[in-house]
Amino acid sequence: MSESVIGITALTRRFGAKTALDGVTLDLPRGAVYGLVGANGAGKTTLIRHILGLLRAEQGTVRVFGADPVADPVAVLSRIGYLSEENDLPGWMRVDELMHYTRAFFPAWDDHYAEELREAFSLDPTAKIANLSKGQKARAGLLVALAHRPELLVLDEPSSGLDPIVRRDILGAVLRTIAGEGRTVLFSSHLLDEVEQVADHVTMIRDGKIVLSGALDAIKASHGGGARVPTLDEIFVAHVGSSAAVARDA
Amino acid sequence: MRRTALAFAAQFRQRHRWGLLGVVGYLAALGVYNRLIRAPGPPVHLDNPEAVAGVVVIPLATTFIYLLAVFTFGLAGDLAARESIFPARMFTLPVRTAELVAWPMLFGTVAVSVLWLGTALFGLRPRGIEIGLVWPAAAGAAILAWTQAFVWMPYGLRGLRVIVAVLCLSALDAIVFTALTFKVPEPVLVAALLPQLPLAYAVACVAVARARRGDVPDWRPALARPGAVAAPSRRRDERFASPEHAQRWFEWRQHGRALPALVAVLLPFELAMLWLAGDTPVLVIELLLLVLCTPPFMAAFAAATVGRADTAAPGTSGLAPFTATRPMRGAALIGAKLRMTIVSTLVAWLLVLVATPLALTLSGTWPAVMDRAADTVSIFGAPRAAVLLLLLLAMCVATTWRQLVQNLYVGLTGREWLMKGSAFLALTLLAVLWPVAIWTGNHGGVLAALWNDIAAILAALGLLKLLGASWVAVRLHRSGLLSDRTLVLGAAAWVGVVFALYGLLGWLLSGPLVPRHYLVLIAILAVPLTRLSAAPLALSWNRHR
């Protein structure tokens, strides 16, 4: 087994009376695409925010590349590419300014690759972020998350911003390329068919607890009752129950 | 219509029930105390500042400001933003704009009127203070209605709302005070104030209607061309030398231009008055002092945006993930912010230093300034007068920067409750300290006692500051947010600046009247330390929640 990129042990987080994460333990080895699935409010974003150091572990430990993301944000964040679901890129920046600004933080920034991505995403370099559509903003966010070829790519609900064509043709291809290069991708989604197409490993989370985690093929094999291999959607329904409808509709 | 009224009432009740209950409780307690508990005493005269401070100014001013904040929706939005502060979620309600505006304005004007009537009937009249019942209520209602109109209006520039509101409300205040000075009869005052309500309502309707259809003017492109010298866009082939350079550019583009823009808006109006004051040297000097006060004064407003952790996350005061995930230490993020504030301060002062001599020359008022300069030279001698002038300028620049950064730590926490609580506390302190200062000034005995103990008071304040700084330093050391080297260098730099200031003060104020240890204490208190050094802790609390 290769070294662990993310190691989480007994992580618990409460917001007031609500327990957002309840004793989560997770170990993500290098070089695969991990899908984090769960209904809205299950705890996916809270888990990702702990990985990025945006939330401090109240109980338990979080290690990314062996370091604590809160104690040593530079060491951790310089190796991560992150696409937030919040679409929070500064509206006053132009696309080329965003690229220049982000490049300054990442020595491994690849200008040629960034330009390739910009053209593939059809982004006008002189366009202001504020004037981009929601999908274009998500593409711009994805561009700056990818262009420094991060060792770990974290995508929080990328489907909520990207249109179906980008999701199917570009995101899928990019994620496979990254994994093929031995880098790691963690992405959260409530679109189970998308996760099924892209991810090698799946972690299901419900009410802050991990209910299922492992290689997608192994999970499918272990849930197969007969000749037919179950879909991820069916497995989700089996584990999460009625919340699945919410997850599919969301 | 009734449903809309109930909806607004429910919203105010739900969000501010404890505060509004507190106001009602205060009025009830005042009434019970004055009518049932306290025996009838000698009438309290309005020329007694102590009585005015205790009974009227402090609770009334604080409560009035609170009501202003509640009924303008100022507690829930960004006052400096270009967009209207009227809650956008209400724009989708199936009611006409006129109705949308009417209810909060009606509730607000009734609330401030009731506040005044309650204070007058329960607090003032039982103590024999005879003061008009109607005109103060009308003045309060007019101020609230106009504040609502200005605050709900979308503006073309960030921060412009604050300037417009301050200027217009000051004008309204000045009219009322002038009328009182000239003893204008109450019916005339009321007749002048009451028509303000429908006028303010009409303006507010226009404001909200524009905001409702998303009509937010944008004057930034017009100002961007002259501003391009100070903040050029990045050319496509241009690279930042380091992450620190990139972050400095980011901070400048996001917050740095606020102060120079505010000064640039106000300065022409102030300097234009030189043409009116040409024949009166005293007025020219007063105008120059006003100009010198403008950057520090406007810095207090600009600080509200500079201090905010992020403006990239609309509707939230926390750090946006985009900024929080920069691979930089918190200290470096703050360093970029501090450098931006220095540049912002210098640009604002550059505007003043270029525009003022130009205006003095063009208006022909230079001779008045030169006469005053000659007087100063004859008193202090040329070298000392030159140093005094430079010191005055340096103090103004330093004060401007200090205004920008001294409350940085509050904004960097990203906690809305802390920011609003801090603003409320500052206003309350102001409401308390002002009448207390007036009262102290009018009581020679108290003033003499304070002057005798001034060394002890300054020493206590200095000790408090150093204790606070020590606590912050220990926390910084334990958290590892700053390296030991940075902490030691920071402390050494602070001590160096304090000694330099002490030396300068000692040279300027040498004499038996001002003992040396006073100067040390003044230098210790003048150079920022505790609140500034708390900024990394505040940012860490925000960035890693």
For B194-235, the pLDDT digits (tens) are 999 999 999 999 999 999 988 888 776 666 555 554 555 555
B370/B318 same-domain check: yes
Per the listing, tokens 């022409």 go with B268
What residues does each domain of chain A span? 4-79+151-249, 84-150
Q: Is B423 domain-assigned? A: no
Q: Is B425 domain-assigned? A: no
CB spacing of B240 vs A91 below 8 angstroms: no
Q: Which of B160, B186, B218 is the last residue of a domain?
A: B218
- Among partner residues A90, A100, A106, which is closest to B234 by beta-carbon distance? A100
For A198-210, the pLDDT digits (tens) are 888 999 998 899 9
pLDDT band at B24 (very low <50, low <70, confident <90, very high): confident
Q: Is B422 domain-assigned? A: no
What is the C-alpha to C-alpha distance for residues B399 and B293, in angstroms, rounded to an integer?
Answer: 10
- Among partner residues A52, A56, A101, which is closest to B325 by beta-carbon distance? A52
pLDDT of residue B350: 96
Residues B125 and B105 sit within 8 Å (Cβ to Cβ): no
Tell which residue, A121, A117, A187, A118, has the closest CA to residue A152. A187
Q: State the average pLDDT over residues B43-69.
A: 64
User: Which of B40-49, B60-69, B92-101, B502-511 is the least confident region?
Assistant: B40-49
Q: State the average pLDDT over residues B385-390.
A: 86
Same CATH fold assignment for domains A4-79+151-249 and A84-150: no
Phi, psi of B544 (to 5 degrees): -115, 85
Q: How far is B132 from chain A (nearest CA, A)?
A: 50
What is the C-alpha to C-alpha distance for residues A134 and A140, in angstroms, rounded to an integer?
Answer: 10
Q: State the average pLDDT over residues B20-36.
A: 75
B69/B196 same-domain check: yes
Nearest CA in chain B to A126: B236
Say what angle helices B535-543 and B330-363 make with each other, to 10 degrees. 120
What is the C-alpha to C-alpha distance for residues B427 and B431, in angstroms, rounded to an integer?
Answer: 6
| Residues forming a β-bridge with A206 | A209
Angstrom CA distances, A139 to A78, A155, B237, stand at 20, 12, 22
Q: What is the β-pairing status of strands A4-15 and A18-29? A: antiparallel
What is the C-alpha to C-alpha distance for residues B446 and B13, in angstroms, rounded to an integer?
Answer: 44
Q: Is B91 on the interface with A (CB under 8 A)?
A: no
The total number of structural domains in chain B stands at: 3
Q: Is B453 domain-assigned? A: yes
More confident residue, B519 or A176: B519
Per the listing, tokens 């996350």 go with B313
Q: Is B233 on the interface with A (CB under 8 A)?
A: yes
Strand positions, DSSP E, chain A? 4-15, 18-29, 33-37, 59-64, 80-83, 152-156, 184-189, 201-206, 209-215
As given in the structure block, the two tokens for residue A237 are 């329904």
Q: State the average pLDDT over residues A178-187.
A: 84
Q: Is B320 on the interface with A (CB under 8 A)?
A: yes
B200/B225 same-domain check: no
What CATH homologous superfamily does A4-79+151-249 map to? P-loop containing nucleotide triphosphate hydrolases (3.40.50.300)
For B488-534, the pLDDT digits (tens) are 999 999 999 999 999 888 887 777 777 888 889 999 998 989 988 99
Number of other CB atoms surrounding residue B248 within 10 Å:
20
Burial class (CB in 10 A: 0-12, 13-18, 19+), B142: buried
Tell which residue, A63, A26, A32, has the closest CA to residue A204. A26
Q: State the average pLDDT over residues B447-462.
A: 88
- Among partner residues A70, A73, A94, which is closest to B327 by beta-carbon distance? A73
| Residues forming a β-bridge with A209 | A206
- Among partner residues A55, A86, A94, which is closest to B233 by beta-carbon distance? A94
B36/B176 same-domain check: yes
B210/B256 same-domain check: no
What is the C-alpha to C-alpha distance for residues B141 and B114, in angstroms, rounded to an integer?
Answer: 10
For B322-334, the pLDDT digits (tens) are 989 999 998 899 9
Residues A186 and A34 sit within 8 Å (Cβ to Cβ): yes
Mean pLDDT highest for which of A178-192, A215-229, B423-437? A178-192
| Residues forming a β-bridge with A6 | A28, A64
Nearest CA in chain B to A115: B236
Q: Which domain holds residue B285?
A: 219-231+239-405
pLDDT of residue B109: 94
Percent of the residues in chain A that have a pLDDT greater than 90, as a whole number: 42
pTM of the model: 0.75
Which residues in chain A have their CB less than 8 angstroms from residue B240's CB?
100-101, 103-104
Q: Is B417 domain-assigned? A: no
ipTM of the complex: 0.88
Residues A190 and A36 sit within 8 Å (Cβ to Cβ): no
Which residues in chain B have their CB less than 8 angstroms from residue A56's CB?
544-545
Fold of domain A84-150: Helicase, Ruva Protein; domain 3 (1.10.8)
As given in the structure block, the two tokens for residue B300 are 């207090």
pLDDT of residue A159: 75
Nearest CA in chain A to B312: A90
Listed in sequence order, the residues at least 6 apart from B284 whose beta carbon sits closer than 8 Å to its beta carbon are B274, B277, B278, B365, B368, B369
As given in the structure block, the two tokens for residue B415 are 């906690």
CB spacing of B322 vs A88 below 8 angstroms: yes
Q: Is B431 domain-assigned? A: no
What is the C-alpha to C-alpha distance for residues A229 and A249, in angstroms, rounded to an integer?
Answer: 24
pLDDT of residue A216: 87
B191/B311 same-domain check: no
